[in-house]
């Protein structure tokens, strides 16, 4: 399985947002009812400073999407992180420094049927290779024994724990928030 992995320009991302969101909905097994809202949110996210998107394409079919942008004190997500760090005893000096200089990996998804073949790994390398930040941060739903592709992938890329069993406002699920220094130390 050898996909073409390449960056998407902001216009390419915006135009193709419906197809990219479909990959996300299939990968996460979400209800299609969220489609229009997510398209709107993804298009809005593409306006964030540092926005970078990577697609995996096989035979003209998009089978993977990953995107992210620079973390910002204006973002809801960063407010949530700060709350989480405070709740676990306050950020360390290093964490305070990082919180001003990180790339948020907002989404990474591979179409079912194409998962577990290294596509996610290639997309993460492409996504993060030119990031100007000192660290990358992402969140992923908690799962027993970290037994899914997402955890395996993030661990194998060098991501470690920033927060565990964290609950974002408005979401009942527990999340792990993971962090890695950049550039990635773990090769393809
Ligand atoms: C999470 C996801 C994006 C990962 O993409 P992927 O293409 O399946 O991932 P990869 O094949 O690159 O890596 C996954 C596995 O291969 C391993 N792997 C691949 N290449 C490797 C390498 N060179 N060295 C070591 N391990 C490697 C990873 O550690 C991981 O192990 P596992 O198969 O035992 O779980 C994808 O599985 C997916 O979309 N899942 C459903 C949606 C989801 O969970 N999205 C993320 C939400 S945070």
Which protein residue has the closest C-alpha to ligand 1 atom 5?
120
Q: 186: pLDDT confidence band, cut at 50, 70 and 90?
A: confident
Q: Which residues are catalytic?
A: 154
Helix axes 17-28, 35-45, angle to 10 degrees: 120
Over 80: is that where the pLDDT of 38 sits? yes
- pLDDT of the residue at 97: 84
The Å distance, Cα 83 to ligand 1 centre, comes to 29
Residues 104-122: what's their mean pLDDT?
Answer: 97
Over 80: is that where the pLDDT of 66 sits? yes
Residues 69-91: what's their mean pLDDT?
Answer: 93
Write down the mean pLDDT value for the chain.
Answer: 96
The Å distance, Cα 123 to ligand 1 centre, comes to 10
Which protein residue has the closest C-alpha to ligand 1 atom 17?
153
Q: 59: pLDDT confidence band, cut at 50, 70 and 90?
A: very high
Superfamily of domain 4-181, CATH level 4: Gcn5-related N-acetyltransferase (GNAT) (3.40.630.30)
Contact indicator for 178, 162 with CB cutoff of 8 Å: yes
Ligand 1 atom, smallest distance to 110 CA: 39
* pLDDT tens digits along 138-163: 999 999 999 999 999 999 999 999 99
Q: 33: pLDDT confidence band, cut at 50, 70 and 90?
A: very high
- pLDDT of the residue at 90: 83
Neighbours of 105 (CB within 10 A): 24
What is the distance between the alpha carbons of residues 128 and 103, in angstroms, rounded to a whole number?
8
Domain boundaries, the chain: 4-181
User: Which of 27, 58, 65, 120 has the most ligand 1 atoms within 8 A of CB, as the residue to mutate?
Assistant: 120
Q: 174: pLDDT confidence band, cut at 50, 70 and 90?
A: very high
Contact indicator for 166, 138 with CB cutoff of 8 Å: no
- pLDDT of the residue at 185: 86
Name the percent of the chain in helix, strand, coil, to the closest 5: 40, 30, 35
Of the candidates 106, 110, 112, the one whose C-alpha atom is nearest the C-alpha of residue 123 is: 110
What is the distance between the alpha carbons of residues 150 and 176, in angstroms, rounded to a whole number?
11
- Give the rounded percent of residues in the chain with a pLDDT score beyond 90: 90
Which protein residue has the closest C-alpha to ligand 1 atom 20?
118
User: Would you call the peptide bond into 183 cis, given omega within 30 degrees of 0 as the criterion?
Assistant: yes
List, as one string, the DSSP characters of 142-187: --GGG-SHHHHHHHHTT-EEEEEEE--TT--S-EEEEEEESS-SS-
The Å distance, Cα 102 to ligand 1 centre, comes to 22
């Amino acid at each position: 399985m050898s996909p073409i992995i390449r960056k998407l320009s902001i216009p390419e991302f915006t135009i193709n947002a419906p197809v990219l969101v479909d990959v996300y909905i299939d990968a996460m097994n979400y209800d299609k009812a969220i489609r229009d809202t997510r398209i709107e949110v993804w298009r809005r996210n593409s306006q964030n400073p540092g926005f970078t998107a990577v697609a995996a394409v096989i035979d003209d079919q998009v089978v993977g999407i990953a995107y992210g942008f620079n973390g910002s004190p204006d973002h809801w997500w960063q407010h949530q992180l700060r709350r989480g760090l405070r709740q676990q005893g306050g950020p360390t000096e290093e964490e305070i420094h990082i919180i001003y200089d990180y790339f948020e990996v907002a989404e990474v998804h591979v179409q079912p049927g194409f998962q577990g073949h290294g596509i996610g790994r290639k997309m993460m390398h492409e996504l993060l290779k030119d990031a100007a930040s000192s660290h990358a941060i992402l969140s992923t739903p908690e799962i027993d024994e970290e037994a899914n592709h997402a955890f395996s992938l993030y661990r194998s890329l060098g991501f470690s724990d920033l927060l565990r069993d964290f609950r974002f406002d408005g979401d009942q699920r527990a999340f792990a928030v993971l962090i890695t220094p950049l550039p990635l130390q773990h090769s393809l």
